[in-house]
């Protein structure tokens, strides 16, 4: 495992993320031992053994002795933690809890439920959280130290060109087909009758909770937020900034166990139950319901888009101008319907970045062609109808300066950050106490200076 790879992994996520198998989490080492010390931080044999099991489980391989590679990775990680202690860097409990809940939601979504997660790891959720809390705290500390080391690194256009010229071409990534797309979005007219029906249904559910039924059970049965419904509607700890304003304003004013009145947001209509408040974060359950549309209401949106499409096809309006005049999507209307990829903050999308309903239509279009109106969803999963037009298709290719400058620029910056970071490691090791167990002193470490 190259130190460059270690550096990149540390930048991306906290080290040693909680992704161990049940076997490794429950492994009982008859004799654990300290196999290394970096400053005030100890490296245990179990740390290396567990990381080795995780890598083997995922099919990860490395040149040379994998245990030696893991041990060197651990030494770099402990060096960062040692520096965090020297600099009095701390992470707040809310930061740790927020990241922990985010990861737990990911694991639970992958495995299906909290019960399934407990069975998989043979631990209670309390124990899982306790294990995860330690690694997350250390990871966040290491990230903060590393971020400070490389925070001032910048690259110039000439450095980007030089990096591109010098790097072996087969080391550049293959970029899949990319699409630049404009859209016109129309929402079906939400009838007051439909909104009234949703409110009545939520009022009935709220009344059932107040009479003693479990909020979580009703969330599983009725909530249209399927990502949280499987967890009884639980969101996990979130700050006010992570929630939409109308939802947060109500959630942060609830007492433990209290159930809110109906709350309207861009997602639909909710009732909320407070589970726990911790500092500047809350953990709540919610039940989300949206108005349902009649066939006539859906047809109105489709018909309106048909008439807009005819105006464009007869050259009465350009697609861009029609989007500015008629689109109801505030995120793209002013830019003439140009969609922005939130993952890259560019106008280029790869296949997996699209909603399935959108790509099903887009894949059959050529540049300049306009789709028929089709049903899709907005970012809040609300029903919309769309017209889309392909502005540009960039076929699959190896990354180059003309089409992928931002990618080459980021690779250049990462390389420069790596150099700055490794210079810091080499300098810091000279003034930091390092002890390596004899069983690891014969390792061929990638960086000189560990053995003195």
Q: What is the pLDDT of residues 194-237, one digit of tens each?
A: 888 899 999 999 999 999 999 999 999 999 988 788 889 998 88
Residue 26 has pLDDT above 60, yes or no: no
Smallest CA-to-CA distance from 181 within 371, 373, 326 is with 371
Model pLDDT, residue 23: 38
pLDDT tens, position by position, 271-299: 999 999 888 889 999 999 998 888 888 88
pLDDT-based confidence at 22, cuts 50/70/90?
very low
Higher pLDDT, 148 or 121: 148
| Predicted model pTM | 0.64
More reliable by pLDDT, 105 or 250: 250
> What pLDDT does residue 350 have?
93
In the predicted structure, residue 96 carries a pLDDT above the cut 80: yes
pLDDT computed for residue 57 by the predictor: 62
State the Cα–Cα distance between residues 254 and 250, nearest whole angstrom. Answer: 7
Q: Is 161's pLDDT higher than 90?
A: yes
Q: Looking at residue 365, what is its pLDDT?
A: 95
**pLDDT at residue 396 greater than cutoff 90:** yes
DSSP β-bridge partners for residue 38: 41, 434
Give the length of the chain. 452
| Long-range CB contacts for residues 48-51, cutoff 8 Å, separation at least 24 | 48/74, 49/24, 50/20, 50/24, 50/25, 51/16
Q: Are strands 374-377 and 263-265 parallel, antiparallel or unpaired?
A: unpaired
Compute the distance between CA of residue 269 and CA of residue 224 in angstroms, rounded to an integer: 10
Asked if pLDDT for residue 422 goes beyond 90, the answer is: yes
Predicted confidence (pLDDT) at residue 10 exceeds the cutoff of 90:
no
What tokens does 161 get? 């060109």
pLDDT at residue 132 above 60?
A: yes
Nearest Cα to 367, choosing from 387, 393, 388?
A: 393
10 Å Cβ neighbour count for 160?
Answer: 19
Spatial CB neighbours of 215, under 8 Å, sequence gap ≥ 6: 209, 232, 233, 259, 273, 285, 287
The answer to whether the beta carbons of residues 435 and 31 sit under 8 Å apart is no
Structure tokens at 271: 């009732």
Going along the chain from its start, the domains and CATH numbers come out as: 3-156+407-440 (1.10.4030.10), 175-189+293-398 (3.10.50.40), 192-289 (3.10.50.40)
352 has pLDDT over 60: yes
Of the candidate ranges 21-30, 262-271, 332-341, 351-360, the one whose mean pLDDT is the lowest: 21-30
Name, in order, each residue with C-beta under 8 angstroms of 276's C-beta and a sequence gap of 6 or more: 237, 256, 282, 283
pLDDT bracket for residue 16 (50, 70, 90): very low
Structure confidence at residue 148 as a pLDDT band (50, 70, 90): very high
CB within 8 A of 31, min separation 6: which ones? Answer: none
Q: What is the mean pLDDT of the chain?
A: 86
Instruction: Give the per-residue pLDDT at 250.
Output: 95
Question: Where do we find the tokens 């809940």?
Answer: 101
Q: What is the pLDDT of residue 334?
A: 94
What SS3 class is residue 176? coil
Which of 98-107, 130-139, 224-233 is the least confident region? 98-107
């Amino acid at each position: 495992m190259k130190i460059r790879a270690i550096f990149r992994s540390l930048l991306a996520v906290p080290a040693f993320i909680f992704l161990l198998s049940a076997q490794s989490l429950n492994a009982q080492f008859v004799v654990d031992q300290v196999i290394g010390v970096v400053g005030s931080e100890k490296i245990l044999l179990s740390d290396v053994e567990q990381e080795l099991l995780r890598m083997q489980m995922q099919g990860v391989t490395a040149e040379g002795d994998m245990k030696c590679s893991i041990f060197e990775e651990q030494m770099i990680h402990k060096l960062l933690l040692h520096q965090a202690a020297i600099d009095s860097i701390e992470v707040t409990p809310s930061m740790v809890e927020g990241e922990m809940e985010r990861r737990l939601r990911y694991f639970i979504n992958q495995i299906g439920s909290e019960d399934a997660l407990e069975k998989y790891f043979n631990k209670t959720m309390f124990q899982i959280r306790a294990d995860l809390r330690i690694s997350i705290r250390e990871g966040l500390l290491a990230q903060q130290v590393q971020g400070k080391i490389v925070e001032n690194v910048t690259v110039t256009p000439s450095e980007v060109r030089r990096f591109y010229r010098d790097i072996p071409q087969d080391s550049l990534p293959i970029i899949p087909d990319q699409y630049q797309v404009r859209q016109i979005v129309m929402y079906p007219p939400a009838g007051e009758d439909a909104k009234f029906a949703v409110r009545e249904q939520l009022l009935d559910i709220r009344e059932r909770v107040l009479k003693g039924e479990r909020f979580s059970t009703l969330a599983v049965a009725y909530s249209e937020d399927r990502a949280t419904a499987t967890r009884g509607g639980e969101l996990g700890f979130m700050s006010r900034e992570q929630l939409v304003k109308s939802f947060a304003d109500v959630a942060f004013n609830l007492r433990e166990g209290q159930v809110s009145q109906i709350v309207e947001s861009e997602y639909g209509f909710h009732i909320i139950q407070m589970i726990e408040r911790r500092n500047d974060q809350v953990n709540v359950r919610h039940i989300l319901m949206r108005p349902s549309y009649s066939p006539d209401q859906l047809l109105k949106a489709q018909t309106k888009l048909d008439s807009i499409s005819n105006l464009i096809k007869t050259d009465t309006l350009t697609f861009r101008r029609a989007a500015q005049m008629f689109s109801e999507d505030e995120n793209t209307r002013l830019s003439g319907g140009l969609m922005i990829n939130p993952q890259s903050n560019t106008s280029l999308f790869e296949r997996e970045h699209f909603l399935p309903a959108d790509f099903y239509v887009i894949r059959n279009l050529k540049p300049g062609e306009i789709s028929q109106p089709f049903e899709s969803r907005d970012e809040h999963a609300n029903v919309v109808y769309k017209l889309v037009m392909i502005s540009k298709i960039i076929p699959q290719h190896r990354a180059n300066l003309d089409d992928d400058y931002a990618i080459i620029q980021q690779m250049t910056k990462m390389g420069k950050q790596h150099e700055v970071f490794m210079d810091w490691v080499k300098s810091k090791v000279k003034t930091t106490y390092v002890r390596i167990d004899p069983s690891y002193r014969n390792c061929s470490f990638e960086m000189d200076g560990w053995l003195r």
